[in-house]
Structure 1
Amino acid sequence: MTYLGLPGLRPAQDTPLDLTILYRGPLASCDYDCPYCPFAKRRDSPAQLRTDRAALERFAGWAAGQTSDTLSLLFTPWGEGLVRSWYRSALAELSHLPHIRRVAIQTNLSFRTDWLAEADLGTLALWTTYHPGQVTHERFLTKCGELDALGARYSVGVVGEPEHLGAARRLRAELPPEIYLWVNAAEGRSYTDAEAEDWTALDPLFGYSRHPHPSAGLPCRTGESVISVDGDGAVQRCHFVRAPLGNLYDGSYRAALGPRPCPLDVCDCHIGYVHLESLPLYDVFAGGVLERIPAGFSF
C-alpha cells in the first residue's frame, strides 16, 4: 500500500505542530491468552478486521499527508497488531517519511520479523512484552536475536506477577546488556518493599510503576503536544481522559490543543504518566519516550 498522494488528504492547517499521537483503532483480537488481559484470545470477525484495516489505512494516509507538521506515532492496539499485514505495511512506510520523527508499536513479538528490513530502523521502534506461559523463553529470545541482527531498536518488558519473576530474571541474564528490560506493576497488586526490591533489581525504574501517581490538577503534556486518536478520528487528550477535543480528519482538534491540568486523581499507566510534567520521565527517556527506552541506557 502507498499513502503518499492519497486523494482527500487535508493540507496541514495553521501553525506547524510537533505532535505525539497515540493511535488505537478497533482491533481487539490477540493470539495470546494472558490471564491478566481482558482481550486474551479474542477473535475479531472478518468484518471487524476490514473495519480496522480501513481505519488504520485512513490514519496512516492522514499522517503521511501532514508534511508541515512533525509527528511521533505510537500504536497501542488492544490486540496484537503486527500479525496483521496492514500494521506492518503502515509502520514500514511511515518510517521512511521525513516529517515522522518516530513510529512505534506495542507488541508481543509473535510476528515474523523479516518485514523490518523494509523499514527505516532509525525511525521505527518496538515496545515488546514477554508473556511467560504464552511463549517459550527460547522462542522469545530467538525473536529478540532476530531484531538484534536486523539492527532494530526495541525494549522488552514483563508484567510484575510473582510467578513471572524467575522467567524475568532468566530473560534479563540472557538479553544483550544494552537492551532495556522494563517491569510493569501488575494491575491492582501491592508490593512489599522486599518484592519491589526484587523487581527493581531487574528494572531500576520499577519505582515509577509501583504506585499510581497523583495527577489531579497537575500539568500534563496530553492535550497540548500529545493526543490520543481512535479509529474514527476522534481526538482525546489521552486514552484515560475521554473528553473530546475534536476530530483528526476535519482538523477541528487543532484549535483545542493547549495546556490543561489533569482531571483524574491518579495516573497509573506508563503511556499516561510518562507525559506528566511533574515527573522527570521526558529526561529519563529522552529520545525513547514512545518505545520506552531510557536515554543512554547503561544501568
Structure 2
Amino acid sequence: MPHGNASTLLADLGGTNVRFALAGPDATSPLVMDSIRRYRVKEFPSLADAARQYFADTGRSASQAVIAAAGRIAGGETVKVTNNPWAIVAHALQAELGMRAVHLVNDFAAQSMAVPLLAADSLLPVGALSAPKLDGTQPQTFVVMGPGTGLGVAGLLWRDQKWIVLESEGGHAGFAAHTTEDVEILHRLNARFGRVSNERMICGNGLVNLYLALADIAGQPAEEYTPEDITARAEDGSDPLCVRTVETLAGIFGSVAGDLVLSLGGWDGVYLTGGVLPFLLPWLHRGGFRERFEAKGRFRETMERVPTLAIVHPEPGLLGAAAIALSAAGQSLQLPH
C-alpha cells in the first residue's frame, strides 16, 4: 500500500492505452492534472518500460505506485490485462522500478472511487433525472460501468462511513436478449463465438460485431469497417446501417445497465464511463438507452426513478487511482458536491 506523503505514480491501464500521472495531497482533488501523459500499449514491451519513458519525458519520479488495470487482480498481486499483452506482477514491477510499494487495483475500482470526487460539471445526466446527492447520511449503492476496449463493471457502496468498491468482471456475463432483433443478433454472434457475453457488443469492437450481425439480418453485404469507420459514418449519416448499429448498441447498453441495477441493487444511480462513452453520448440521449434501461417489467416504475449519469471528467481512472492512494495514506476523501 502507498505510504504517507511520498510521491505516488498513478497508472490507468487499458487494452489500448496506458495513462500515467502523479497523486497530490489535496483531499478534494488529489490528481495532479499537469502530470498526465498517455502512451500506446503496443509501443512498449512492458508496463515498466512505459513507466520509465514517462519519468524520462516528465523529469518526475515516484517511490510507489497505484496501478489500475483492466483485468481481475489475483490475490492482490498479479493481473493479466484483458485485451492487452502485458502480464503484471506487483512485486516484480516494484523491483524493476526501484519502488517501495506497488498496489494493483481493477480499473473499474479506480473509476468507482472517482465518483465521490466528481464535481457537478463532471457529470451529465442521461435522461430526466439529476445526479444523486452524496452526503454520507445513509447507505447508498451505485453501479459504475462503461465501454472501452472491453466493458467494465463495478459496484460502489457507501456503508459505515466509508466507500466500498465491489470489483467484478460483469462485462463478461452472458448477454440476455430482450427483443426479437436481440434474438437474431444473439443467433449470429453465437455462431461466431459460441458463448456471447455483454462485452461482445458493448465495447469498441462490439460495434463491428453488431454491424456484421445487422448486415446479415438485413441481407446486405457488409463492408470491412473498423469501429472508427462505423462511428464516422454514423455521425455524418452517410451509411444507414452504421447509424442503426450505433442505435442498437445504445439500446443494448441501456438493457445491460438496467440488468446491473437489478443484480447489484444499485437503486441510487448508475455512473457511465469508458473510452467509447464520449462518442456514444449523443446516441444515449436519443431515447433508446433510457427506454430499454427502464423496460424491466414489474420493476419499470422503480427503474424510472434510478438516475443515469455520464462521467465527463477527462481522466476518471486516474482520479480514482489518486483517491485510492489518498485513502491508503490514511486521508479522508472530501466530497465536492
With normalisation by structure 1, the TM-score equals 0.31
Name which one, 1 or 2, has greater alpha-carbon Rg.
2
Higher helix fraction (1 or 2): 2
Higher relative contact order (CA 8 A, sep 6+): 2
With normalisation by structure 2, the TM-score equals 0.28
